[in-house]
Amino acid sequence: MSTGHPGFEDLLRELAPQVLGALVRRYGTFDACEDAVQEALLAAALQWPAEGVPDNPRGWLTTVASRKLVDQVRSETARRRREDALALATPQSALLAHAADAAPAADRDDSLALLFLCCHPALSAPSRIALTLRAVGGLSTAQIAAAFLVPEATMAQRISRAKQTIKADRTALSLPAGPDAAERLAAVRHVLYLVFNEGYTSTGGTDLTVPELSTEAIRLTRLLHHLAPEDAETSGLLALMLLTDARRPARTGPLGELVPLADQDRGLWDRRLIAEGVDLLSRTLPRGQLGPYQLQAAIAAVHDEAEHTDATDWPQILVLYDLLEQVAPNPMTSLNRAVAVAMVQGPTAGLDLLAELASDKRLARHHRLHATRAHLLEMLGHHEPAAHAYREAARRTTSAPERRHLTGCAARLENPSACYLGR
């Protein structure tokens, strides 16, 4: 949604999940409620800039959305039974005498429950992401489609199918309890993590980053942290995002070219975000509930706190990667650990680990494996095989800025420079 007024847009995006949660809890029809909320948001975007924000903007949106929903149901004469059920569930005072900006009967925020609903187990990861950005993030279908480089019609179909899946499953808006709670919360975190990563390093297109996505991921993770403040991994995820996004201003040059971590102007890093991330992490780690997001945040903090690249505490980073590989082993963690090993024990030790990783089918064709091999070969002065590895990495990446950077590294091997694709 774009209103042309940043202040109104921020307020509407903050209120959207609260209003949608209230409607879904009252009426239980996610797809119809989501459409009604979008209409209410559009009405607000048109009226508020001219008439001013109501005293109770959330109540205004809830009332308008409720009326839109009832009008929609009443217009569908073929669905009379659904209309009757909705009419019975809705007090007449809410439809006729309730002032648009009056205080709601219950000041309940269902945003967390809505996040759980959008990350329903029956949905695929892409559908969870799309529905979360639409229903909780307040982004339009066009904005989501543009961010993920797919046609708007394709994204609309994806969102529609996701809503129909939830409708068919008849899942109620509620917080999961019992043994499912931790698993469902982990799914929500994973969706937000994927959104952030796509924003921080786009998997396709002409730009290295999609700031709108990473910014939205941080906003939603702040919301999740506010709603689940005692969850250590949610705190760790927020810290990781803040510490990583702090480097974004230095990740690209004047022409949008990729700037490796070792070459970045650290004076451009956002020290406010770094301080917030470090503070959050320092309050989370002592709890003893160590998880992968906290460990990744700790690694990011070590990078961020180094005054210059030569001051990076690589032994500490290696220790953290050792822990991360025990807690949540995956090929990309092993690849990053190989870089840390190379920085501590020498590039030959790192290359030995890369040779082992090449047998992993999940990583063998990934451009980062070839880019890392190229960098370590270059460190050893093996320019010809390093150039070949850079070109192979460039051939495999789907990111245009990364491809240009890797090709440039191959071409500049007569004047070696650090080309490690760090975060």
Of all residues in the chain, what percent carry a pLDDT higher than 90? 42
Tally of CA atoms within 13 A in the half-sphere of 249 that contains its CB: 13
Q: Give the residue, 135 or 375, on which the prediction is more confident.
A: 375
Residue 281 dihedral angles phi and psi, to the nearest 5°: -70, -40
Of all residues in the chain, what percent carry a pLDDT higher than 70? 87
Q: How far apart are CA 227 and CA 127, in angstroms?
A: 23
Q: How far apart are CA 338 and CA 368, in angstroms?
A: 12
Per-residue pLDDT band at 392 (split at 50, 70, 90): very high
pLDDT at 251 over 90: yes
Rounded to an integer, the average pLDDT of 11-23 is 85
Cβ-count burial 157-180 (b if 16+ within 10 Å, e if not)? ebbeebbebbeeeebebeeeeeee
SS (HEC) of the chain = CCCCCHHHHHHHHHHHHHHHHHHHHHHCCHHHHHHHHHHHHHHHHHHHHHHCCCCCHHHHHHHHHHHHHHHHHHHCHHHHHHHHHHHHHCCHHHHCCCCCCCCCCCCCCCHHHHHHHHCCCCCCHHHHHHHHHHHHCCCCHHHHHHHCCCCHHHHHHHHHHHHHHHHHHCCCCCCCCCCHHHHHHHHHHHHHHHHHHHHHCCCCECCCCCHHHHHHHHHHHHHHHHHCCCCHHHHHHHHHHHHHHCCHHHCECCCCCECCHHHCCHHHCCHHHHHHHHHHHHHHHHHCCCCHHHHHHHHHHHHHHCCCHHHCCHHHHHHHHHHHHHHCCCHHHHHHHHHHHHHHHCHHHHHHHHHHHCCCHHHHCCHHHHHHHHHHHHHCCCHHHHHHHHHHHHHHCCEHHHHHHHHHHHHCCCCCCCCCCCC
Q: How far apart are CA 130 and CA 133, in angstroms?
A: 5
Please name every residue paired with 258 in a beta bridge, in sequence order, or none if there are none: 252
Tally of CA atoms within 13 A in the half-sphere of 105 that contains its CB: 9
- At 287-318, the pLDDT tens digits run 878 899 999 999 999 999 999 999 999 999 99
Tell me which range, 88-102, 113-127, 307-321, is most confidently predicted by mean pLDDT. Answer: 307-321
Q: How far apart are CA 333 and CA 323, in angstroms?
A: 10
Per-residue pLDDT band at 13 (split at 50, 70, 90): confident
Lowest mean pLDDT among 9-23, 48-62, 65-79, 112-126: 65-79
